[in-house]
Amino acid sequence: MTPAQTPVAEGEVTLYIGGVHASRAPVVIKTLLGSCIAVCLHDPVAHVGGMNHFMLPYGADAQADGAARFGVHAMDRLIGETMKVGGDRRRFVAKVFGGAHVIGIRSAQGSVPAQNIEFVRQFLETEGFPVLNTDVGGEQPRHVHFHTDSGRAFVKRVAGSAQLVQREQRSMRTPPAYGDVTLFD
């Protein structure tokens, strides 16, 4: 278990930014998303699946602590973890959630949520994983519950989530340090 994932109850795991979890056993993986993205991969024949939760498309060395905060590494880890528990990448199907503009800044083409959505769309297309469902964009945070055995995902939009907005604003003021790069000013 990493700091980015926490067991909630038997059969449940909660992911935070940088979390990746896959399971052969039936598990419900939960997360709360604002501008971040969560991708759920499922192998419908092996009945295994996994989810990640990433903040930005690119950054950090793949071996660096917190590398899974970045989509490029989070996706590689999700594919690898799902294969380790018995999934066959030739059968993977995907569901994608998040990418909301939750901090009250007007939506823009180069915004973080827009970059996240475009990154994951291109990544999944390049890898050849069919996308069965998406719920991305908008202005509301989302609670996502993904059932690894069935591949079912449940999404609830969170209206007026002031706490999530405050957390996102704090993270913009005090970004994590990744080398000499400043993610936000």
Beta partners for residue 43, in sequence order? 48
Please spell the DSSP secondary structure of 59-117, one letter per residue. -S-TTSTTGGGBHHHHHHHHHHHHHHTT--GGG-EEEEEE---TTSPPP-TTSHHHHHH
Among 15, 32, 36, 55, the one annotated catalytic: 36
Question: What span, in angstroms and rounded, lies between the C-alpha atoms of 66 and 5?
Answer: 12
pTM: 0.80
pLDDT-derived band of residue 108, with 50, 70 and 90 as boundaries? low
Most confident of the ranges 116-120, 159-163, 168-172? 116-120
36 annotated active-site: yes
Q: For residue 26, list its beta bridge partners.
A: none
Q: Which residue type is seen at 41?
A: L
More confident residue, 105 or 140: 140
Whether 54 contacts 36, CB under 8 Å: yes
Task: Report the distance separating Cα 141 and Cα 164, nearest Å.
Answer: 8
What digits encode the pLDDT tens for the residues 36-69? 999 999 999 999 999 999 999 988 676 777 889 9
Q: Which fold has domain 5-173?
A: 60s Ribosomal Protein L30; Chain: A; (3.30.1330)
pLDDT exceeding 70 applies to what percent of the chain? 76
Q: How confident is the model at residue 4 (pLDDT cuts 50, 70, 90)?
A: low
Residue ranges per structural domain of the chain: 5-173
